[in-house]
Amino acid sequence: MDRCGQYQLLRELGRGATAIVFEADHVALGKRVAVKVLHPSLAGNARCEARFAHEARLVAALRHPHIAEVYDTGLTEGGLQYLVLEFAERGNLAALIAERRPLAVALALELLIPVASGLAHAHERGVVHRDIKPANILLALDRAGTLVPKICDFGIGKSGSPSDSHLTTQGAILGTLAYMPPEQLRDSSTVGPAADQYALGAILYEAVTGQLPYEREVTIEWMNAILAGGVAAPSRVRPELPVGFDEVLLRALHVNPEARHGSVKEFAAQLLQFASGRTWTTWASEFGVARDGEMRTADDEARTHGALSSLLARPSDVRPSDVRRMRGVGVRWAMLGGALGVGCAVGWAAREQAGPTGNASRALIGPALMQRSAQAREELASVRVGPDTTEPEASAAPTVEPEQPTGASSESRAGVRVERQASLNKAVLGLDVAPTKSRRIAESRSASVADAGARERLNVAPPAGSESPQVSFGNNRAPVLE
């Protein structure tokens, strides 16, 4: 057989139990397609022929970029049914996994997140595939040369329509054992969307570990292992897998369908935290992942809080490891910024404490720090250095000492003030700052202020040509607390 209607068959692409797939060209248009022909051994089999027609109707109703499109249907000259499908230039996912296993998590998700989108589209329209496996995920190319996965072979798909109920006998086992969930082993006629979620999880498990979830030499032992559950964590096979990946994947492979993710969409949304930046940017909105990295669904907020928060605004070429590294840098910058903020607040409060707005600074600094400050001041006030500097009583006659513009008396008083300030800083803030140029400037200014105050009390005019001293807080110089 070298032709099916208007399609010239070029080569065989693969064959299964019910059909053979060929690469072909449309004779008139020259369009490259895939032609799926019913296996000759099944000619005249009413059930198989009905499934062929059923697949064509199902796929025709599912218009999605990641579901292989059906272009045409017909009969060969020998009376065999055939379907004309979208052609995939890069074969299927089974060949890719066999060639490159295990795949990087980012690559596996770049191929399987779109498949989840296609499955979610089918589930929303009441269709369950029931045979999701790597061989049924075609790899086409878009205009940019990027791989585009497409779901194919809805031959045993379940639509829920009463007219299709006769296609699956109650208690029958349909599907591929390696990717089949336990409930499908018991009765394929009753499975729902959770069965496709399980199969998608099994594909992801195989892609990232290079092993099937349950693989045994004897078929009956394999079936019993699937029914019993308890698949090994993927990180036991590949310890370098990201933290949290086990939990998300193993939930999809849970033996109980009710314990799996609520839908394929929820499964994909959880997987996005491990995807590349390009995959996350492309699919975040479709799967309900907000830009702040949290699920929009309130039911999943607790489970996803923090898991997706590292994904605030990832560029398209950023990988999850880069995001974790950037998150660590961000935390360190936040800690540094917080420390600087506290330091500035304390310094401002210390400045305010010296002026008339000291009460406002107490409200900002906090009771504990103000208590420590008050205690330190009381201790420093009890220390008397040099001559008594208390104000004389009104009845006592003031004693005028000789003017000492550069004498040791004013310098010693300034030194005492600076030492008191240093002691206060150490007691309150835990600082032990060595004398600096700013500190020496503060000493000279403090001495000038003290001399001016003494002259004012004694009504002694300042020396000719001098100006009234002022205390400046500019240029980051710390004030001297009296």
Q: Which of 2, 72, 131, 388 is catalytic?
A: 131
Other residues' Cβ atoms within 10 Å of the Cβ of residue 236: 10
What are φ and ψ of residue 120, in 5° steps? -60, -40
Q: What tokens appear for 66 in the block? A: 């990641």
Is-catalytic flag, 196? no
Q: Give the Cα separation of 24 and 202 in Å (integer).
A: 32
Q: Are 6 and 33 in contact (CB under 8 A)?
A: no
Q: Are 139 and 88 in contact (CB under 8 A)?
A: yes
- Burial of 77 from C-beta contacts in 10 A (0-12 / 13-18 / 19+): exposed
Helices (H), 232-366: 234-237, 245-252, 264-271, 277-283, 301-304, 320-354, 358-365
Within a 13 Å sphere around the CA of 43, how many CA atoms are in the beta-carbon half?
9
Strands 81-85 and 32-38: antiparallel
Asked if the bond preceding 234 is cis, omega within 30° of 0, the reply is no
Q: Give the Cα separation of 400 and 394 in Å (integer).
A: 15
Q: Are 119 and 267 in contact (CB under 8 A)?
A: no
∠ CA 159-68-27 to the nearest 5 degrees?
125
Sign of CA dihedral 121, 127, 128, 132: negative
Q: What are the residue numbers of the active site? A: 131
